[in-house]
Structure 1
Amino acid sequence: MNAIAGVLFHFIGGFASGSFYVPYKKVKGWSWESMWILGGLFSWIIVPPIAAWLTIPNFAEIISQSSSSILGYTFLFGVLWGIGGLTYGLGVRYLGVSLGSSIILGLSMVFGALMPAIYYFFNKAEGKHGIDYFFTENAGICVMIGLLVCVVGICLCGKAGMLKEKGLGTLSEEAQSEYKFGLGIVVAIVSGVLSACFNFGIEAGKPMAEVANQIWKAANPGQGEFLYQNNVTYIVILWGGFCTNFLWCAYLLLKNKTYKDYTNTTSPIGKNLLLCAVAGTTWYLQFFFYGMGESRLGNGASSWILHMAFIILISNAWGVALKEWKGVSKPTYTSIIAGILTIILSICIVGFAKTLE
């Protein structure tokens, strides 16, 4: 039951992450930086403490009593992840929701799943798997197969993107306006690698989550692991992410004088504010449910792979629903659908791996 619940929580988190950019696409008359930083205020600053307060009333005390080393590394990985998140927005802008998310999150999935395992191979820790786990244990081998299958799915999505670029002349003017494959692919690679730092941040801040877990278990004996233990860790990680994004967006707002967007009465200010709030809150929900899924599956490669795979799946489904692939050739459309189906298969394989442990 833990495995089923974990997969379900990761699906909900993946749905939130794969859907968060949709409200942004409805914002009218604002620059990218205007809407991105406003949404970020909700996802990084406003909502996380509220979620932590509702689930871990003494979260501030846990943070204040943590060592400077734990806080420093957790914050640092948040800063690096923030750069990945910042470039994620640009990657989706230039490549579209489905292709951009597939490449960025695919790279993040691979790095986020394997790098901690390499670290723990050389620095043994109780409850943590080294990279050898993926080649010697049945469950680990199954996880690795699932990861490779997902990479195949990502490659199919990437192939669809290249085919789309070749046939761009047949697409509508709106579809061509922001699609820049060359620039987008560079941004996507940078974003994918750095986005994996969120998982590293969870590892670095795990002692804070363990404190929350122990407090809850002492008050609720015999009820398993605390579902919301990671909510305290997220606050520190997201502080780092906010700093990166705030500095860059503030620079763009001043450079382009787009801070005037917030007082431009020719745009639907109230509606735009609401859409940004919805987008930012939805993005945070991915972390909220990731923590719940992790509490059932463990903070290993399986949790990270499932989470990323669900995000890629939902992002591509939105891409199809939003008609980002409308007007493309049959081979292009076949490639993106094949990519989606392959990613679904990878999710099933990784989910099954947890039953082998």
Structure 2
Amino acid sequence: MDPITGILLIAVGSVGAASFYVPFKKVKSWAWESYWLSQGVFAWLIIPWLFALIFVPRGELMPIISEAPSSAKLLAMFFGILWGFGGLTFGLSLRYLGVALGQSIALGLCAAFGTLLPPVIAGQNMFSTTGGILTVIGVSVTVAGIIIIGYAGSLKGKEMSEEQKKAAVKEFALKKGLLIAIFAGIMSACFNFGYEAGKPIEDVALAHGTNPLFQKNPSLIFILLGGFITNLVYCGFLNIKN
């Protein structure tokens, strides 16, 4: 894939990531845990299977899943469970900080840790190549931006009255929201580890004629299933409790 196409696809994904929470503003009578889990059924269960069925050669998805090593499937699901904690607390960060501040901090940290941790743990020297150096510089700029956004949020919080805070975000809580957003960003980086763990699944998918552009789709089924399990347990607990 050429870089321009890659950037365009990233832009499309960014629009989706930035706007998925907006429809929840119209939900008035449901508790957070109810509508969060409802969107999760579609996002983490239905869509991964749908996309895999569309982009994997017809009739090959189930053979790919059955032939893939059990260790790869379980490990991908395990990292998905860890990522689920990130996704879950990401939703909570939006609950306490609002969409703009919560997304900026959580997604920024997710991008930073998700980019740097896998090669560092694999023992790669990021400073040995021009690409690695530029990546570190880009992540550093991202982290600097997150610090500025967090500081701006704290200043805004000090200037607003409690009534204004509640009007902007119903359950606004700056300190709690910042801590949750930082945790969400770190745990969300486990998604990349899920991809690393799912490489044996990708190899089987390629052997069955899957287009290399869509070779990760079978792995996504297991990563997102793990994330769904985390959210199902927590949201189910809250629904029973409340």
TM-score by length of 1: 0.64
Match of 1:139, as an amino acid? G
Q: Does 1:69 align with 2:61?
A: no
> In the alignment, what sits opposite 1:195?
188
Structure number with bigger Rg: 1
8 Å CA contact retained: 2:95, 2:169: no
Shift of 1:203: 0.8
Partner of 2:223: 237
In structure 2, how many angstroms separate the alpha carbons of the residues matched to 1:67 and 1:143?
A: 32
Assess, with a 3 A threshold, how the Cα gap between structure 1 residues 116 and 176 changes in structure 2: closer, same or farther.
closer
| Corresponding residue number in structure 2 for 1:177 | 170
Gaps of 5+ in 1: 122-129, 218-224, 257-357
Aligned residue in 2 for 1:260: none
Instruction: Label 1:62 to 1:158 Cα distance change in 2 as closer, same or farther (>3 A).
Output: same
- Residue in 2 aligned with 1:324? none
SS of 1:46's equivalent? helix
Q: Report the Cα offset of residue 173 of structure 1.
A: 4.5
- The aligned counterpart of 1:164 is 156
- The residue that corresponds to 1:33 in the other structure is 33
Alignment partner, residue 80 of structure 2:
78
Give the match for residue 144 of structure 2: 152
The alpha-carbon deviation at position 211 of structure 1 amounts to: 2.5
Conserved in 1, the CA contact under 8 Å of 2:87 and 2:184?
yes
List aligned pairs for 1:215-254, cutoff 5 A: 215-216=208-209, 226-254=212-240
Identity percentage over the alignment? 45
Answer whether contact 2:96 2:169 (CA < 8 A) is retained: no
Task: Name the SS for the 1:216 alignment partner.
Answer: coil
Task: Structure 2: give runs of 5+ residues left out of the alignment.
Answer: none
* Post-superposition offset of 1:6: 0.9
SS of the residue corresponding to residue 208 of structure 2 reads helix
The structural deviation recorded for 1:178 is: 1.6
Measured in 2, the distance between the counterparts of 1:231 and 1:176 equals 36
| Paired position in structure 2 for 1:270 | none
CA contact (8 A) 1:80 1:194 kept: yes
The answer to whether 1:142 aligns with 2:134 is: yes
Q: Distance in 2 between matches of 1:173 and 1:80?
A: 31
Q: Distance in 2 between matches of 1:61 and 1:173?
A: 52
Q: Equivalents in 2 of 1:212, 1:204: separation in Å?
A: 14
Structure 1 residues 70-90: Cα deviation after superposition (integer angstroms, max 9, x where no partner): 111101000010111011100
Question: What are the Cα deviations for residues 79-105 of structure 1, in whole angstroms up to 9, with x where unaligned?
Answer: 010111011100011011111111112
Residues 142-197 of structure 1, C-alpha deviations (whole Å, 9 max, x = no match): 12111111112212211221111111118364115321001111211221111111
- The aligned runs of 1:245-324 (5 Å cut-off) are 245-256=231-242
Q: How many residues align?
A: 239
110-119 or 78-87: bigger deviation: 110-119
Amino acid at match of 1:144: V
Q: Tell me the TM-score normalized by structure 2.
A: 0.93
Partner of 2:94: 92
8 Å CA contact 2:166–2:172 kept in 1: the answer is no
Paired with 1:59 and 1:10, the residues of 2 have a C-alpha distance of 26
8 Å contact from structure 1 (residues 168, 176) kept in 2:
no
Aligned-pair distance for 1:115? 1.3
Instruction: Report the CA distance shift for 1:35/1:143 in structure 2 as closer, same or farther (over 3 A).
Output: same
Report the Cα distance in structure 1 between the residues aligned to 2:53 and 2:230, rounded to whole angstroms.
Answer: 25
2:64/2:208 contact within 8 Å kept: no
Q: Give the structure 2 partner of residue 313 of structure 1.
A: none
Q: Which amino acid aligns with 1:20?
A: F
CA root-mean-square deviation: 1.6
Q: 2:205 touches 2:215 (CA, 8 Å); kept in 1?
A: yes
